[in-house]
Amino acid sequence: MDYSFKRGFKPDLERIQKALEEEFSTEIKQEDGKLLLSFGALKSICVSITGKKLTVTTESVIGASDEQAMDTNKHFRNFLEKATGYNAKQRLQMAKKEVAKEA
């Protein structure tokens, strides 16, 4: 999934890594301009910057408990808000606009 940055939120990998470190208490590896980690109900999270967008790819753990999934989702949403400057509601509205453009 690709996310736009709000004005004032630079597409800087170091800043993105700090946002990841604040939300996810786990080891974060950096390879080929990508940040890689695993946390809770997400087997893998791959974060990179493509052009002027934040690209995030995730893979879920099969059979994670509801509690673990909810906690992971909370941390993930908080990370996206810190990284992009947009809250969940704003990201949803932008995603809908993108779909409407393509249709």
Q: Where are the domains of the chain?
A: 2-98
In this structure, CATH architecture of domain 2-98: 2-Layer Sandwich (3.30)
Identify the sign of the CA torsion 30, 5, 81, 74.
negative
Q: What pLDDT is recorded for position 87?
A: 95
Residue written as token pair 């996206």: 80
- pTM (2 decimals)? 0.91
CA distances from 54 to 61, 67, 73, 103 (A): 23, 27, 18, 23
Helix or strand or coil: residue 63?
A: coil
pLDDT tens-place values along the chain, 103 residues long: 999 999 999 999 999 999 999 999 999 999 999 999 999 999 999 999 999 999 999 999 999 999 999 999 999 999 999 999 999 999 999 889 888 988 7
